[in-house]
Amino acid sequence: MLAGRRVILGVAGGIAAYKAAEIAGTLVKQGVEVRVIMTRAAQEFITPLTLQTITSHEVASDMFTPRSGGVAHIEAARWGEAFLIAPATANIIGKMAAGIGDDLLSTIVLAFDRPVLVCPAMNVTMYKNPVVQRNIQALSALGYYFIEPGSGRLACGEEGPGRLAPTAEIVARLESILGGSGDLGGLKMLITAGPTREPLDSVRYISNRSSGKMGYAVAKAAAERGADVVLVSGPVALSPPDGVNVVFVETAQEMHLAVNRHFEWCDVVVKAAAVADYRVQAQPGKIKKGATPLTLTLEPNPDILRDLGERKGRRVIIGFAAETEQLETRAVEKARNKGADLIVANDVTRPGAGFDVDTNIAVFAYPDGRTVPLPLMTKSALAHRILDQVLDLREDGADNG
């Protein structure tokens, strides 16, 4: 529940600013104390009096209004438990990414060290502009939360992504970020992430380009939503998410053992790790360079996803597939062959969907043959989509059980 929470609502100057009244009203009805910060441009679309009436708090917009004491942006930053920016224009997103604080809203963002949820709304061409996407990716990497805009006919007459997300979705996401929803509370989740390394000798190894960002995003989001999370991680350059028990491994066999140790404990498995398919018999010391070609004999590693699928019981099992062709067909086949409830597949040749990036373009593939393509989004946003599927799949399992 959000009742009793303190939320700053930042309103930037786009046509969707009028929807801030609905957002504020919905939050107030749920018992949230809301204080509104508006840019001057936002006041061209909706009056401060409207939002003041809804929230019962004076709306702030000017850094230099005479005050009885204190510093406006510091006081606001200390007061709020979360900062919701809706709508967020390309301008405010650019300021945030550049660290610019030239008005009250952007200055509070700089002084705010608690969760910030950004809800973009703008013209489709502006939203797809590489600079805007780069700014969104940069902010996501710093821990800012984003809700992808909806698609449809925009105020400018164009079609495509750019509409402010529905109020219900914004409020639900805010609730999950603040830990109020707890919609995964009581669930025990086992998540794998990152690559594995298969040693050739004491110096070299075989690995892949997985960064672990997707698995870490799922673990972070699951913990935020109340799940008890064990993350089995290959070697990555990422900080462990707060509230997550991390088990570090190197090889595929080590990952298999770690997963097996926690499998009986868990209710849900999300296998996002890119496990090496083959290993070699590692040689002691360093293999010396010679004049003749080096021949390596590869042995298959254990198929962790298939092994878990064969023993799944009533657990929900979600796997991943990185493909370069026939994406949907191969993902459905993998779901069927591995005993998975869902495969999250992506074509790693597409811009924004490859390795070591902060975004993804995924397809949900199910063993019954259904596929659901998703648009480009941050891995954080995709993580929440995956967790929503966890809830749906568990509900379906309960209905069929």
Give tens-digit pLDDT for 377-390. 888 888 988 999 99
Residue 113 pLDDT: 84
Q: What is the mean pLDDT of residues 261-269?
A: 96
More confident residue, 287 or 231: 231
Tally of CA atoms within 13 A in the half-sphere of 366 that contains its CB: 12
CA–CA distance, 75 with 80 (Å, rounded to integer): 9
Query: Fold for domain 188-400?
Result: Rossmann fold (3.40.50)
10 in helix, strand or coil?
strand
375 preceded by cis ω (within 30°)? no
Q: Give per-residue pLDDT as tens, 327-379.
A: 999 999 999 999 999 999 998 888 877 777 888 889 999 999 999 998 888 88
More confident residue, 20 or 72: 20
Percent of the chain exceeding pLDDT 70 equals: 93
Are 72 and 104 a contacting pair, CB within 8 Å?
yes
Catalytic residue among 1, 71, 156, 298: 156
Are 147 and 381 a contacting pair, CB within 8 Å?
yes
The pTM for the full model equals: 0.61
Band of residue 49 on the pLDDT scale cut at 50, 70, 90 = very high
> What's the burial of 220, exposed, middle or buried (CB within 10 Å: 0-12/13-18/19+)?
buried
Band of residue 50 on the pLDDT scale cut at 50, 70, 90 = very high
CA–CA distance, 176 with 224 (Å, rounded to integer): 7
Q: What is the mean pLDDT of residues 102-116?
A: 91
Measured CA angle at 242 (ends 236, 248), to 5 deg: 35
Q: What average pLDDT does the chain have?
A: 89
pLDDT above 70 for 150: yes
Q: What are the CA-CA distances from residue 137 to residues 16, 145, 188, 250 (Å)?
A: 22, 10, 30, 29
Q: What is the mean pLDDT of residues 109-123?
A: 91
- 188-400 matches 6-177 in CATH topology: yes
CA–CA distance, 173 with 180 (Å, rounded to integer): 10
CA–CA distance, 269 with 363 (Å, rounded to integer): 18
Give residue 83's identity as a one-letter amino acid code.
F
Q: Give per-residue pLDDT as tens, 309-321.
A: 999 999 999 999 9
pLDDT above 80 for 135: yes
Place of tokens 């595929």: 252
pLDDT above 70 for 71: no
Please say if 266 is a catalytic residue. no
Are 105 and 91 a contacting pair, CB within 8 Å?
no
Residue 73 pLDDT: 55
The closest of 176, 62, 163 to 121, measured between CA atoms, is 163
pLDDT above 50 for 68: no
In sequence order, the 6+-apart residues with CB closer than 8 A to the CB of 194 are: 210, 211, 212, 215, 233, 234, 235, 236, 273, 274
Residue 292 pLDDT: 76
Residue 355 pLDDT: 78
Q: Give per-residue pLDDT as tens, 165-216.
A: 889 889 988 887 786 556 888 899 999 999 999 998 888 899 888 999 999 9
Measured CA angle at 222 (ends 396, 33), to 5 deg: 105
Residue 401 pLDDT: 56
pLDDT above 70 for 119: yes
Residue 221 pLDDT: 87
Residue 69 pLDDT: 46
pLDDT above 80 for 141: no
**What are the helix and strand counts (H, E) for the chain?**
13, 21
In sequence order, the 6+-apart residues with CB closer than 8 A to the CB of 281 are: 297, 299
CA–CA distance, 131 with 384 (Å, rounded to integer): 25
Tally of CA atoms within 13 A in the half-sphere of 195 that contains its CB: 17
In sequence order, the 6+-apart residues with CB closer than 8 A to the CB of 200 are: 206, 280, 282, 283, 287, 296
Q: Where are the domains of the chain?
A: 6-177, 188-400
Band of residue 1 on the pLDDT scale cut at 50, 70, 90 = low
Residue 384 pLDDT: 87
pLDDT above 70 for 291: no
Domain 6-177 CATH superfamily: Flavin prenyltransferase-like (3.40.50.1950)
